[in-house]
Amino acid sequence: MGFLDNSGDIILDAVLTDAGRKELAAGTFSITKFALGDDEINYQLYNPAHPSGSSYYDLEIVQTPVLESFTNNSSTMKSRLISIGDNNLLYLPVLKENTSVTAAGRYSDPDIYLVAVDDKTQRTNNFDSGDSTIAGGIGRNASGVVYGGVLFGKNPADADNHIIVDQGIDNQNKPKTDPLASDLKEEQYIIQIDGKFGSIVNTNGDEPPDALSKSKDDDGFLFYTIDSTSTNMMENLDSTSNSPIAGSRGTRIKFKIMASENLKDNFAYFDRYGFVTSITTTEGSIAAKAIDTTVRVTGVNLGYSVDLPIRFIKATAEIA
């Protein structure tokens, strides 16, 4: 990956994704839709005080280096360009991670969502007893209290902890009591996760029904399309909702993460993709192996997305 020379000339650099090349080889390639993004651009570089006049106000923006095209479709375009007909629009909605709702925060140290991948890591501190009801471990302390920020990846239904993302206009100049315009409200979301490591489930611990779109790309990433019919996954926000959105509120999406069978059953993926670490709890430190990844949530209507830091954890020793 590199940067293109963007000294002022207009450049078009296009490549096919791996899936596109596969379709081309099969003779079935056809472009039906496309999206544009401007992730590399910092619009704060616009300088209306440039000494050379208005023709130079956007010079630094125009000459910003842009990334070469690359074929991994899951790594591109965090922000997509959109067209909106309302010329009086002052603010656009965003997605914000909500860590203020009970059972929806991150772990304290590290500041990340931890996913405990097996029963020992979820809740036991006596690995040899075979008694999965013994309290303790990364997920639960000796009193049976679930640690905040720990998702139960083996059995998601065993704890209330989950992830919440809220949508709306994050500006107090657009009061919470003002309803969000229908064309700015997200009615569908796409959740993206690396299928090697896990899958998405609702707050009951159940996988979204097959009626919703679920796909897997050539890199092994899972894409879930979630809407208002998704049980215990999406809801409307109002002015009284506990939310980090400062202004008009749209919708909320909430979910849990199920660890893949490979992570639950053995250390092979941890040895290949992960690292050795330790997690500090109120009862002590637990040696573990970990894999860091992200889960991306994208609004289908406006294309805004947010990446959430996830660490899959598998304990290797008892509490010390």
- Mean of pLDDT values over 80-98: 86
Residue 193 lies in a domain: yes
The count of domains in the chain is 2
Together in a domain, 104 and 186:
yes
Mean pLDDT value across residues 147-156 = 93
| pLDDT: which is higher, 49 or 137 | 49
Q: Which domain does 53 fall in, by range?
A: 3-75
Which of 40, 75, 110 is the endpoint of a domain?
A: 75
Verify that 163 and 235 share a domain, yes or no.
yes
Residue 236's pLDDT band, with cuts at 50, 70 and 90, is: very high
Residue 45 and residue 120 in one domain: no
224 pairs with which residues across the strands? 191, 214
Place of tokens 């500041």: 111
Same domain? For 170 and 63 the reply is no
Start-to-end CA distance of the chain, whole Å, equals 44
Say if residue 63 is in the same domain as residue 102: no
pTM value is 0.81
Given 75, 110, 137, which residue is the final one in a domain?
Answer: 75
CA–CA separation, 149 and 156 (whole Å): 13
CA gap 289, 267 in Å, rounded: 8
> Would residue 82 count as lying in a domain?
no
Indicate if 241 and 128 belong to the same structural domain. Answer: yes
Which among 310, 304, 317, 275 is positioned nearest to 136, based on CA atoms? 317
Contacts of 168 (CB under 8 A, 6+ apart): 93, 94, 96, 180, 237, 243, 245, 247, 248, 249, 250
- Report in angstroms the alpha-carbon separations of 297 from 14, 46, 101: 25, 29, 18
Percent of the chain residues topping a pLDDT of 70: 87
SS3 (DSSP) at 78: coil
Contact predicate 64/42, CB 8 Å: yes
Tell me which of 78 and 290 has the higher pLDDT.
290
Domain membership flag for residue 86: no
| Token pair for 280 | 């500090």
Q: What residue ranges in the chain does DSSP mark as E strands?
A: 3-4, 66-67, 94-97, 113-116, 150-152, 163-168, 188-194, 198-201, 214-216, 221-227, 234-236, 249-259, 275-281, 284-299, 305-315
Q: Is residue 85 part of a domain?
A: no
